Structure 1
Amino acid sequence: MTPNRLTETPATTVRVPVVEAAGIVGDLVLPDGARSVVVFAHGTGSSRHSPRNRAVARTLQRAGFGTLLLDLLTEREEAVDDATSEFRFDIHLLGRRMIDAVDWLAEYPQTQSMPLGLFGASTGAAAALIAAAERPDRISAIVSRGGRVDLASDAVGRVHAPVLLIVGGHDPQVLKLNRETAARLSAPHRLEVIPGATHLFAENNALETVARSARDWFAHPDPELFHAGG
């Protein structure tokens, strides 16, 4: 693993081209010496400014990972979705946007040679699995936080990258869905249940555990070697 960084690298605001619109916005952080990048997909009704995803991203950045926190919807789509909820469960659209981000990073000069990890929360986890299924040669590992991974449908069986499913012990419906999805994964995978945590991981130390587990998984995505929350 890359040694911890004690200083934070400033973010660069980028615009990722997409077919349906002018582009989606992301915050890209590339610490000195970064050798891989993790793309973050937020959950329902959230954005790239999600404090939970940003907290996890900071842990990854301090460990030497680049991060791209991404808005999967355009500003116009977000405004429509706020009023109608039209797009937040359009998993095929969200999955296409994640694929667009993966393809963009493959062309971006500073990241084109880097392996990619995907971190998805809630519906963003389904989008991450779809992107991993469609771009198997580009994705090295996936982490889901409280993910609606069931919404990825048949893409689940086509994922090849190792998958870490993190769920709160007090989030019973999502835990059930993750257990069912884990049974459908042919890729190496692990289900980590954080005792006492609810869907947003707001309890003491719950989010810190998520961040450490994500960091360790992206560094060593092997269920046999992985130590949860280490």
Structure 2
Amino acid sequence: MDVRSRTVTIPAGAVELPADLLVPEPATGVVLFAHGSGSSRHSPRNVAVAHVLNRSALATVLVDLLTPAEDQVDERTAELRFDIDLLAGRLAGIVDWLAAEEPYRALPVGLFGASTGAAAALVAAAERPGLVRAVVSRGGRPDLAGPALGRVRAPTLLLVGGRDEEVIALNEQAQDALPDDAELTVIPGATHLFEEPGTLEQVAHEAATWFTTHLPERTHFG
């Protein structure tokens, strides 16, 4: 499958954020990634997952959610990476951009969040229920989405490592607050970062299956 790659700048509120777009031909949906604490759009784990989604005919958007100046502040204080409302607002702005921008407006949108990015993805899904059609969390902290969990309408898959016991408990609590079609899948033998052989590949497979199952049929492009 031919995959086109380009880097763009996406407006999100008062800032503009660099993003890498990977678009297979044809594409049947688009997945926006929300990276975790202290990471960026170059996260090797998210890039690896994105490539698997591309092979499933899904376009992907890997974006930096902080500006370079904000990133410098965050490296010193680690405060902005936990500002879920800030990150969710920027994700919602990017979702709006995808809904208006040709040719992406023809595609249903999914969100893939890792670590704290999972909370931001779920808040954004709650804020854009008519646009976000599916969510996947990898080793996420969905509990940080707070009351927004009860407003999420998109089918949500929570993926957690089997050896990440504290995060399993937090995901179980979040699942109870999410809609009935939310699912929790534990990846055996995996720790928080899914560094064990084969575990990240299982995450990518589960995510691809979830998105291809739950993103509705819309106009293809490519």
Q: Does 1:177 align with 2:177?
A: no
Q: Provide the C-alpha distance between the structure 2 equivalents of 1:154 and 1:74, rounded to a whole number of angstroms.
A: 27
Q: What percentage of aligned pairs have identical amino acids? A: 53
What residue number does 2:196 align with? 203
What residue number does 1:42 align with? 35
Contact in 1 for aligned 2:33/2:60 (Cα 8 Å): yes
What residue number does 2:5 align with? 11
Question: In the TM superposition, what is the alpha-carbon distance from 1:18 to its structure 2 partner?
Answer: 2.2
Amino acid in the other structure paired with 2:9:
R
Deviations 1:157-180 (A, max 9, x none): 000110000000101111110000
Question: In the TM superposition, what is the alpha-carbon distance from 1:187 to its structure 2 partner?
Answer: 4.7
Question: In the TM superposition, what is the alpha-carbon distance from 1:26 to its structure 2 partner?
Answer: 0.8
SS at match of 1:147: coil
What residue number does 1:136 align with? 129
RMSD: 1.2
Deviations 1:38-64 (A, max 9, x none): 000100000000000000000000111
What residue number does 1:64 align with? 57
Amino acid in the other structure paired with 2:74:
D
SS at match of 2:125: helix
Q: Provide the C-alpha distance between the structure 1 equivalents of 2:213 and 2:130, rounded to a whole number of angstroms.
A: 18
Whose strand fraction is larger, Structure 1's or Structure 2's?
A: 2
Matches within 5 A, 1:134-173: 134-173=127-166
Q: Provide the C-alpha distance between the structure 2 equivalents of 1:126 and 1:88, rounded to a whole number of angstroms.
A: 11
TM-score by length of 1: 0.91
Q: Provide the C-alpha distance between the structure 1 equivalents of 2:214 and 2:180, rounded to a whole number of angstroms.
A: 11
Q: Does 1:126 align with 2:129?
A: no
Contact in 2 for aligned 1:145/1:210 (Cα 8 Å): yes
Contact in 2 for aligned 1:35/1:65 (Cα 8 Å): yes
Contact in 1 for aligned 2:135/2:154 (Cα 8 Å): yes
Contact in 1 for aligned 2:12/2:91 (Cα 8 Å): no
Question: In the TM superposition, what is the alpha-carbon distance from 1:139 to its structure 2 partner?
Answer: 1.1
Count of residues in Structure 1 that have an aligned counterpart in Structure 2: 215
**2:74 alignment partner, one of 61, 69, 81:** 81
SS at match of 1:197: coil
Question: In the TM superposition, what is the alpha-carbon distance from 1:108 to its structure 2 partner?
Answer: 1.1
Whose helix fraction is larger, Structure 1's or Structure 2's?
A: 2
Q: Provide the C-alpha distance between the structure 2 equivalents of 1:61 and 1:152, rounded to a whole number of angstroms.
A: 28
SS at match of 1:186: coil
Amino acid in the other structure paired with 2:128:
R
Q: Does 1:103 align with 2:96?
A: yes
Q: Provide the C-alpha distance between the structure 2 equivalents of 1:127 and 1:93, rounded to a whole number of angstroms.
A: 8
Structure 1: which 5+ residue stretches go unaligned? 223-230
Amino acid in the other structure paired with 1:184:
A
Question: In the TM superposition, what is the alpha-carbon distance from 1:19 to its structure 2 partner?
Answer: 2.3
Contact in 2 for aligned 1:120/1:128 (Cα 8 Å): yes
Amino acid in the other structure paired with 2:203:
V
SS at match of 1:30: strand
What residue number does 2:44 align with? 51
Contact in 1 for aligned 2:19/2:64 (Cα 8 Å): yes
